[in-house]
Amino acid sequence: MKMDLENMFDRLWPINRSLMGPAYRESLDILSEKMPMKKHVFKTGAKVFDWTVPKEWSVNEAYFIDPSGNKHADVSINNLYLLSYSAPFSGKISLQELKQHLHTLPDIPDAIPYVTSYYSERWGFCISNNEYLSLEEGEYTVVIDTALYPGDLVIGEAVLPGTSGEEVIFSTYLCHPSLANNELSGPLGLVFLYNLVKSLPERRFTYRFIISAETIGTIAYLSKYGQHLKEKVVAGFQMTCIADKGNYTYKRSRQVESLADRAAMQALKESGLDHSIVVFDPGDGSDERQYCSPGFNLPVGSLMRTQYGKYKEYHTSLDNKEFIDFSALEDSINTYFEIVKIIESNITWKNVVGYCEPQLGKRGLYPTLGAPAMENHVKAMMWLINYADGTNDLIDIAKISGFSTTKLSAIAENLEKHDLFKRV
């Protein structure tokens, strides 16, 4: 998986994506090779809840030339040099005038910041603070050949149907150019996870995978399908920041103890890895803010490695291929798949013999020799038999007993074969 991830990463990296435009569509097409998608389209000017879909944006070239003739901030070298959604501009201006259009990060003087201006037309460049300080006085030539024009906001979606009517969603965004952990890890993780989920021989839940532009794309999607999700979704996850080398962080949904939260926390517990659980925090984050807005209040959490805003490379040119690790990304995808498996196995079982324990020995499920210590496998079975009363689901029993969902699930299915367990 690692090599496939890296190959696709290398193809997506140089494309100067933003919310809408040809670069976004090109990126979506590449991802479609791994995950065939249905495209949902919203036109510029469309009203989606409190928002209005903006224009498309495309970039031809952009740079500025200093009085000595040196070229700076050439977008063909790094997409971040150009303010995302920058308006076109060309002309000769003084350094003082130019500086009003330059964005830097004094705290990380060698990094180019990632800055956007989607809803207010302005032009600008982002450069390192070191470069900024070295600019000489004199006349500068600015060339920004971009275009803003009516077009399409596109959301890609793939669905893997299951046997029950309930749904699990995975969501990510594709509007950040040349940022590795926060963002490419998200769409890459999502399409590879899609293939793992697709490989399951059967699925109880329908799985919906959504790739959109952050905020506006998700809001547009929810304006059309939010009501459906509200009725069907039992768990959901926003995928982002999953390729750095840090420990896992799980950000709970606003519902706090939804199936998404319980399954993710159980997966992390069973992994044995150090990890953090953080509360739902609308003062930071990504599209879980829309999914968890009070009108929807969907059970959408987010499993990340180091959380956005908690690593200095975040939203700068330092969040690049060197910063991430494809093994870490692969592990993250597998951990998401573990969550899927826990959700699939999270059946509410009912012990058919509710009065006293069933006689397991006569069915070959219990040793016929009573010895001083009970085996671990038998203990797990006794927990299941006692707590499978039709109200506790498998995660409940895993939590109270300390046994893994995998072990409990296998035993429960065996008890079902012996007609001792049924599904509620």
Q: Give the residues lining the site for a copy of itself (CB under 8 A).
A: 48-52, 84, 103, 105, 113-120, 122, 215, 218-219, 222-223, 226, 254, 279, 281-284, 289-290, 292-297, 309, 314-316, 351, 353-359, 361-362, 368-374, 378-380, 382-383, 385-389, 400-401
Give the residue with the Cβ less far from a copy of itself, 35 or 220: 220
- CA–CA dist 29, 33 (Å, integer): 7
Q: In a 10 Å sphere around its CB, with 0-12 CB exposed, 13-18 middle and 19+ buried, how is residue 221 labelled?
A: buried
For a copy of itself, the closer of residues 198 and 377 by Cβ is 377
For a copy of itself, the closer CB: 39 or 230: 230
Name the minimum Å distance from CB 211 to a copy of itself: 18
Q: How far is the CB of 337 from a copy of itself (least distance, A)?
A: 29
The smaller minimum CB distance to a copy of itself, of residues 317 and 335, is found at 317
Residue 347 CB, nearest distance to a copy of itself (Å)? 16
Q: Closest approach of Cβ 134 to a copy of itself, in Å?
A: 22
Q: Which is nearer to a copy of itself, 69 or 294 (CB)?
A: 294
Q: Which is nearer to a copy of itself, 205 or 250 (CB)?
A: 250
Beta bridge partners of 209: 158, 170
Rounded CA separation 92/64 (Å): 9
Give the tokens for residue 372. Answer: 């001083």
DSSP 184: I
Comparison of 271 and 297: residue with beta carbon closer to a copy of itself:
297
In the complex, the smallest distance separating the C-beta of residue 255 from a copy of itself, rounded to whole angstroms, is: 12
Contact between 265 and 211 under an 8 Å Cβ cutoff? The reply is no
277's tokens: 């659980």
Do β-strands 275-278 and 248-251 pair in parallel, antiparallel, or remain unpaired?
parallel
Whose Cβ is closer to a copy of itself: residue 116's or residue 195's? 116
- Nearest approach in angstroms of CB 67 to a copy of itself is 27
> What is the number of residues in the chain?
424
Contacts of the segment 391-396: beta carbons below 8 A, 24+ positions apart: 391/348, 392/348, 393/346, 393/347, 393/348, 394/345, 394/346, 394/347, 394/348, 394/349, 395/259, 395/262, 395/263, 395/266, 395/342, 395/346
Q: Is 138 left (phi over 0), alpha (psi -120 to 50) or beta?
A: left
Min dist. Cβ of residue 379 to a copy of itself (A):
3
Compute the least distance from the CB of residue 122 to a copy of itself, in Å.
8
